[in-house]
Amino acid sequence: MSGPCRLAVVVALALPASADAAPLSELPFQRLPDGTACLAPTGAPAELSRWAGGGAELLTATASGLGRPTLVPLGELTGCPRADADATGAAVVAGATEDALRVALREPGGTGFGTPVTLAAAENVFDLSVAVSPHGDAVVTWAEYAFSPRRVRLRVARRDAGGSFGTPTDLVPWRPDRGSTGVLAAMAADGEAVVLTREPTGTSKDWASTDTVRTGARGTPLGPATPLPPDVYGLALGVGPDGRVVVAATSGGSVAVLERPRGGPLSAPQPVTDPKAAVNADQLAVAFGADGRTVVAWHEEGAGTTGAAVRDGATGFGRPIVIVPPPKLPPLQGVGLGLPVVRPLPPLQAAVAPDGRVSVAWTDGDVRLATLAGTAVVERARLGSRLRDPEGLSLLALPDGRRALAWTNQDRFDDDSPARTHYALEGAPAAREPAAPRVTIGTPRESALRPGQWLVLPVRCSAACDLSVTYGNTRSDDGFQHALSRAGTVMVRLPPSNRGIAPARPGPVKITVRSSAPGARTVTRTVATPRLRRLPALPLPRIEDVRARRLSGGRVEVRWRMSSDARDTLLSVTGTRTRAESQDDNPAVDALWGQRRRSYRVVLEDAADTRWVRVEVMQLIGERKRTVTVRLPV
């Protein structure tokens, strides 16, 4: 599902952990100059999928590393592809281009994919889920977004084994975007499809959502929607070998499970976390083992809380296994907003090795790995660089039974930076870390800074390095990251906090550089304390001569002038149907950083309903603002 509502794959607990298990050691990473993203296991043994230019790539993990990728030419995808595969070789891969939803199939016993086909014309696909059966039955479900007016719809297309995809149908036709939205799909071994949807059901004042489950046997349409109870939100979906549907959900500070035996109704929520310890999970996973064994895993990204619960056969779920306990203090909350594209799957992963050992992997600055047995954690490990945030965690089992783990990373805030694929293998000899490079912090380009001005200074590495740079007491994830592939210098640009970088009175400011050899776990710290002086803030400029006119395609052009230098400000333009912005739940918005220049131009997209235009200038530090509102000529 969108936001936190996406599927993470978990395989059930089976046998006790092996006492002589070898640790996982990382092999040399692979540089990917053109970047990569969206790494995920497909579900077939040792197989991975990822985004690539021109479509999706599938690759196989081996004892010597990751094999050569095979491209499935879906087209230029705007977001992540989704892939699901079975040990029989059956697989489905789907992805969204700017104007279509594309899909390709691999038949049971096959080694290659057929020619991709277009399922439907589709723009702004922001959630996508696929599933396949051992026989090749497939289901693809997705969510689309429209900007003017802001609406969403949910759709599904199915394919019976040996046939072609049917015509896509609406699960939820176009409706106003007044609540969270998302989709999940799963498939039973006999071809029964299961779809979990979250559909917006709120009003313009009170946003709300409802989760529902639909099922349909091979050759029959999906049945009527079964709603989940209010305030119960499903984050993971699975179908057991016996056809039992399991939904893992979050509700009121706890994790619960809802089940539907084949032919029966969906049960009431069954709590699986300790009622005395609140767990506000934003990542859940569910899967199955032999003899009806079921595992549910959870992770709370902000707090780091991680755990699992296991049910053996017909018994109830056992007491929760605490992998990472909740913190004593509540975590800081973050807010994110992005374009409507299909995002990567959440990093929570679990898998069972052929000998029954269970591994749970998640991210917390680096890669964390725990091995479970019974109701206990019997082994813990940390992998990967401490200076790069891992993505696309993918737990795998090789044909020889060894565990493996793959992931990617790249510079934070720079989508165009070179990416790396990392691969750790059980029993591989531990590679010797290269020596840490020498780091030199140079003199700032300017020692006198306005409150809203960035600090720019050179940092030099004596050899290839990973860098993380902060000032004062700012958090490492608020600073600057960069990787140098050889000795050299990078110009570091540090943005100001809400008080500016230079102190009110001239004095030293601590600059901290954390560095390592590329991908190494050993981190060194270098500190400099340049003396900085604060300059007065620039006067807040006035907005003058605002002019707006309509363009073709529902666009609105807005031009204006600033009375003076507009650096250290944010300029925003909002188009609304009414003069009062708060009365329009579908504004057209754009923004840009203020510059030294005086003249500005913005084109609002999807602004056919705009009648009023509001231009605002806001200081980055202090947040003083000015606004001008004009009526758009008819």
Q: What is the CATH number of the domain that holds 622?
A: 2.60.40.2150
DSSP SS3 for 460: strand
Boundary-marking domain end, from 478, 504, 534 = 534
- For residue 431, being part of any structural domain is answered with no
pLDDT at 188 > cutoff 80: yes
Q: Is 2 among the domain residues?
A: no
Assess whether 340 and 404 both reside in one domain: yes
Greatest mean pLDDT range, 93-97, 228-232, 409-413, 483-487: 93-97
Tell me what the mean pLDDT of segment 497-517 comes to: 93
Query: Confidence class of residue 418 from pLDDT cuts 50, 70 and 90?
Result: low
Q: Are 454 and 470 in contact (CB under 8 A)?
A: no
Residue 310 and residue 373 in contact, taking contact as beta carbons nearer than 8 Å = no
In this structure, are 547 and 527 located in the same domain? Answer: no
More confidently predicted of 341 and 348:
348
Q: Tens of pLDDT along 529-588?
A: 999 999 999 999 999 999 999 999 889 999 999 999 999 999 999 999 888 877 776 788
Q: Is residue 379 part of a domain?
A: yes
Instruction: Report the CATH number at residue 525.
Output: 2.60.40.2550
pLDDT of residue 272: 93
Is 564 within the bounds of a domain?
Answer: yes
Specify which of 112-116, 231-235, 434-438 reaches the highest per-range mean pLDDT.
Answer: 112-116
**Coil, helix or strand for 284?**
strand
Structural domain includes residue 434 = no
Long-range contacts (CB closer than 8 Å, 24 or more residues apart) made by 66-70: 66/30, 66/406, 66/421, 66/423, 70/112
Query: What total of structural domains would you count in the chain?
Result: 3
Place of tokens 């003396």: 531
Whether 433 is covered by a domain: the verdict is no
1 pLDDT exceeds 50?
no
What digits encode the pLDDT tens for the residues 247-279? 999 988 899 999 999 888 999 999 999 988 889
Q: What is the mean pLDDT of the chain?
A: 89
Measured between alpha carbons, how far is 225 from 236 in angstroms, rounded to an integer? 17
Question: In this structure, are 221 and 247 located in the same domain?
Answer: yes
How many CA atoms are closer than 13 Å to the CA of 134, on its beta-carbon side?
7
Q: How many CA atoms lie within 13 A of 496 on its CB side?
A: 20
Residue 1 counted as domain residue: no
What is the distance between the alpha carbons of residues 499 and 569, in angstroms, rounded to a whole number?
A: 14
Give, in order, the Cα–Cα distances in Å from 545 to each of 56, 558, 563, 599.
49, 10, 10, 10
The CA distances from residue 447 to 273, 381, 509, in Å, are 53, 44, 10
- Do 267 and 378 share a structural domain? yes
| Same domain, yes or no: 199 and 116 | yes
547 lies in the same domain as 530: no
Q: Do 561 and 526 share a structural domain?
A: no
Residues 530, 569 within the same domain = no
Say yes or no: 134 and 264 in one domain: yes
Q: Residue 464 sits in which domain range?
A: 439-534
Q: What is the pLDDT of residue 329?
A: 52
Angstrom distance (rounded) from CA 247 to CA 235: 8
Range ranked top by mean pLDDT from 1-15, 398-412, 472-486, 604-618: 604-618
Q: Last residue of some domain: 401, 426, 451?
A: 426
Residues 43 and 71 in one domain: yes
Same domain, 87 and 217: yes
CATH assignment at residue 61? 2.130.10.10
Q: Percentage of the chain surpassing pLDDT 90?
A: 65
Dist. CA 90–CA 43, nearest whole Å: 10
* Whether residue 551 is found in the same domain as residue 419: no
Domain annotation covers residue 432? no
Question: Residue 203: its pLDDT value, please?
Answer: 86
CA distance 441 to 513: 8
Would you state the pLDDT for residue 479? 77
Weakest-pLDDT range from 194-203, 230-239, 431-440, 478-487: 478-487
pLDDT of residue 8: 33
Pick the more confident residue, 476 or 480.
Answer: 480
Q: Which of 395, 426, 457 is where one domain is finished?
A: 426
Percentage of residues of the chain with pLDDT beyond 70: 92
